[in-house]
Amino acid sequence: MKRSSIWIFTCLISLTLLLLSGCGVFQGEQTLEEIDAPENASLDNVEELETSETEPEESEETDEMDSEQEESDSVEEVETVERQLYLLDSNGMVAPQTLELPKEDSKAVATQALEYLVKGGPVTELLPDGFEAVIPSGTEIIGLNIKEDGTLIVDVSKEFAEYRPEDEKKIIQAMTFTLTQFENVEKINLWINGHEQTEMPVNGTPISEGYSRANGINIHQAGSVDLMDSKAVTLYYPAQHNDTFYYVPVTQHVEVEDNEYQSIVQALMEGPSLELDVLNVFNTGINVTEEPEYKDGTLTLNFNENILDNVEKGSISDEVMETLVLTLTEQPGVEAVNVKVENLEEVFNEDGVPYSEPVTRDMFVPTGSL
């Protein structure tokens, strides 16, 4: 009986010690957690704190990723280049417009230029107000091949022949002037589905010898000109549609006297025919004071003060200068125009910048080669 009591007493003591030891351990772990956490913070608050402490690192990583993405997007931006495309204006005349096209490999620039002349093609979103493409919709550019003599063979699909008869010359003129902007292209030969064409497919315009700028553009015949004593010349006249200002090339016969260049300038100063919806930007009373002189690709012209738009500043309007340069650099061998005014040592543009060097065509329009 005594042994049983002793045994029970011993077990109770052992159990009590074990329980006291367990309570001490639990209380110790709880105290460590409270030391790590801010005073009065719950476990939820601890998780929020840990999250907020890591957010700046995540934000910095995100900023770096965003910056890298922006740099990547910048690298992937399409590089563009200026090209002149000859399109139809609101008056149905073929006129050049300088547009920003995606930069292509040098072997593909002519193909791209033609593709941007196709109605409903990639040019659609770039067309200036009042302009439209000229080549029939659905036309594919099958291939181009340039010869050593400067002839560019242009092979197009059968859809090319689906145009109105009255548009025939406009189409071949637009193609020719667009492609001959490249320095090594002198003329084009048209092929359709691999077959050479001796005439245009709808109205029969002869093209067996190829088509060049010498064939003309927007051909206009003034009734009073003697064709026997004249020469077909392409003159550039300013035109405007709403806010769009541009230049229209017009091929017409000009009566040629002793100096061909002076005859051309005289025709410009007299202004366009009233039948043409273009502008005359020359002042009245303007004269050429000396015979134009050509030397080593530069044509020198001398005018009286009436060519100036501001006598005090000695400035020539940009429209007058561009009209002269575009027209005269169409003439064989003329690469630059040097304009002088009597009683002035130098002349300026509208912004007061002096024309210290002869003015070339590429000051106004893009140039290049295939």
Q: What is the pLDDT of residues 266-303, one digit of tens each?
A: 999 999 988 899 999 999 999 999 999 999 999 999 99
Is residue 47 in a domain? no
Domain boundary among 215, 246, 281: 215
pLDDT level of residue 326 (50, 70, 90 thresholds):
very high
What per-residue confidence (pLDDT) applies to 63?
A: 57
CB neighbours (10 Å) of residue 240? 12
CA distances, 264 to each of 250, 294, 304 (Å): 12, 14, 17
Asked if 298 and 357 sit in the same domain, the reply is: yes
Dihedral sign of CA atoms 127, 131, 135, 139 in order? positive
What per-residue confidence (pLDDT) applies to 207?
A: 97
Q: Provide the domain count of the chain.
A: 2
The mean pLDDT value for 335-359 works out to: 96
What per-residue confidence (pLDDT) applies to 366?
A: 81
- What are the phi and psi torsion angles at 145 (to 5°)? -150, 120
Highest mean pLDDT out of 18-32, 74-88, 224-238, 322-336 = 322-336
Does 34 or 142 have the greater pLDDT score?
Answer: 142
What per-residue confidence (pLDDT) applies to 93?
A: 97
What per-residue confidence (pLDDT) applies to 19?
A: 42
State which amino acid sits at residue 112.
Answer: Q
Asked if 242 and 178 sit in the same domain, the reply is: no
| Cβ contacts of 348 within 8 Å, gap of 6 or more | 313, 314, 315, 316, 354, 355
pLDDT level of residue 26 (50, 70, 90 thresholds):
very low
> What is the separation of C-alpha 146 from the centre of its chain, rounded to a whole number of angstroms?
24
Is residue 10 in a domain? no
pLDDT level of residue 172 (50, 70, 90 thresholds):
very high
Helices (H), the chain: 2-36, 43-76, 109-115, 168-179, 260-270, 318-328
Domain boundary among 148, 183, 215: 215
What per-residue confidence (pLDDT) applies to 221?
A: 83
Asked if 246 and 356 sit in the same domain, the reply is: yes
Using CA atoms, how far apart are residues 360 and 339, in angstroms rounded to an integer?
A: 12
Highest mean pLDDT out of 22-31, 32-41, 357-366 = 357-366
Q: Name the least confident of 58-72, 89-103, 216-230.
A: 58-72
Asked if 180 and 262 sit in the same domain, the reply is: no
Asked if 206 and 94 sit in the same domain, the reply is: yes
Residue 60 has pLDDT above 60, yes or no: no
Is residue 194 in a domain? yes
What per-residue confidence (pLDDT) applies to 1?
A: 46
- Give me the percent of the chain exceeding a pLDDT of 90: 70
Asked if 85 and 193 sit in the same domain, the reply is: yes
H or E stretch including 340? strand 336-341
Residue 45 has pLDDT above 50, yes or no: no
Asked if 181 and 238 sit in the same domain, the reply is: no
Is residue 313 in a domain? yes
Residue 107 has pLDDT above 90, yes or no: no
What per-residue confidence (pLDDT) applies to 43?
A: 32
CA distances, 108 to each of 47, 114, 331, 369 (Å): 62, 10, 28, 11
What per-residue confidence (pLDDT) applies to 68?
A: 56
pLDDT level of residue 114 (50, 70, 90 thresholds):
very high
Dihedral sign of CA atoms 363, 321, 150, 116 in order? positive
- Using CB atoms within 10 Å of the CB of residue 200, give its burial: 0 to 12 exposed, 13 to 18 middle, 19+ buried: buried
Domain boundary among 186, 215, 244: 215
Residue 23 has pLDDT above 90, yes or no: no
| Cβ contacts of 236 within 8 Å, gap of 6 or more | 247, 248, 249, 250, 322, 323, 326, 327, 330
Asked if 207 and 84 sit in the same domain, the reply is: yes
Is residue 370 in a domain? no
pLDDT level of residue 243 (50, 70, 90 thresholds):
confident
Asked if 264 and 334 sit in the same domain, the reply is: yes
Using CA atoms, how far apart are residues 104 and 80, in angstroms rounded to an integer?
A: 8
Domain that holds residue 138: 80-215
State which amino acid sits at residue 27.
Answer: Q
Does 37 or 72 have the greater pLDDT score?
Answer: 72
Average pLDDT of the chain, as a whole number: 84
What per-residue confidence (pLDDT) applies to 4?
A: 47
Is residue 9 in a domain? no
Is residue 21 in a domain? no
Q: In the numeric block, which tokens belong to residue 33?
A: 């957690």
- Give me the percent of the chain exceeding a pLDDT of 70: 78
Asked if 124 and 171 sit in the same domain, the reply is: yes
The mean pLDDT value for 248-258 works out to: 92
Asked if 330 and 285 sit in the same domain, the reply is: yes
The mean pLDDT value for 139-164 works out to: 97
The mean pLDDT value for 116-127 works out to: 97
Q: Name the least confident of 27-41, 81-95, 110-124.
A: 27-41
Residue 53 has pLDDT above 70, yes or no: no
Does 79 or 68 have the greater pLDDT score?
Answer: 79
Residue 209 has pLDDT above 50, yes or no: yes
Asked if 293 and 355 sit in the same domain, the reply is: yes
Is residue 186 in a domain? yes
Task: Look up the pTM and report it.
Answer: 0.77
